[in-house]
Chains A and B, each alone.
Chain A
Amino acid sequence: MPAGRLVRRDTRRRSALIKLKMTCREATQIALQAEDRSVPLAERLSLRLHRRSCSHCRRFARQVQLMREASARWRKFSGG
Chain B
Amino acid sequence: MTAHTAPADLSRQIEALRSVLLKYARLQLRNDAWAEDAVSETVLAALEKPQAFAGGSQLKTWLIGILKHKLVDQIRKNCRELSTTAASEDGEDLDDLLFASDGHWRESPHDWGNPEDALRQVDFMKVLEACVDKLPGQQGRLFMMREWLELESDEICKELAITPTNLWVMLHRARLRLRECLQAGWFGATPVGGAP
Listed in ascending order, the chain A residues whose CB lies under 8 Å from chain B are: 23-26, 28-29, 32-33, 35-37, 55-57, 59-60, 62-67, 69-71, 73-75, 77-80
Contacts of A78 in B (CB 8 A): 24, 64, 148
**B176 contacts the other chain (Cβ, under 8 Å)?**
yes
Q: Is the CB of B129 within 8 A of A63?
A: no
Contacts of B118 in A (CB 8 A): 66, 70
Q: Which of B31-39, B83-91, B99-107 contacts A (4 or more CB under 8 A)?
A: B99-107
**B153 contacts the other chain (Cβ, under 8 Å)?**
yes
Q: Which 7 A-B pairs have the closest CB atoms?
A: A23-B103, A79-B64, A25-B103, A71-B147, A25-B99, A66-B115, A59-B109
How close is B187's CB to chain A, nearest CB, in angstroms?
A: 9
Q: With A23-B103, A26-B103 known to touch, is A79 a contact of B119 (CB < 8 Å)?
A: no
Q: What's the Cα separation between A30 and B89 when bound, in Å?
A: 24
Contacts of B65 in A (CB 8 A): 79
Contacts of B168 in A (CB 8 A): 32-33, 36-37
Contacts of B98 in A (CB 8 A): 25, 28
Contacts of A36 in B (CB 8 A): 146, 153, 167-168, 171
Contacts of A73 in B (CB 8 A): 119, 125
Q: How many residues of B contact A (CB 8 A)?
A: 41
Interface of B is mostly: helix
How close is A55's CB to chain B, nearest CB, in angstroms?
A: 8
Q: Is the CB of A79 within 8 A of B60?
A: yes
When C-beta atoms are compared, the residue in chain A nearest to B148 turns out to be A75
Residue of B95, B112, B122, B171 near A62 (CB, 8 A) is B112
Q: Is the CB of A37 within 8 A of B148?
A: no
Interface centre among A32, A55, A56 (most CB of B within 10 A): A32
Contacts of A25 in B (CB 8 A): 95, 98-99, 103-104
Q: With A60-B109, A70-B128 known to touch, is A32 a contact of B172 (CB < 8 Å)?
A: yes
Q: With A25-B95, A74-B128, A75-B150 known to touch, is A65 a contact of B115 (CB < 8 Å)?
A: yes
Q: Is the CB of B175 within 8 A of A67?
A: yes
Q: What's the Cα separation between A10 and B147 when bound, in Å?
A: 37
How close is A15's CB to chain B, nearest CB, in angstroms?
A: 12
Q: Is the CB of A59 within 8 A of B111?
A: yes
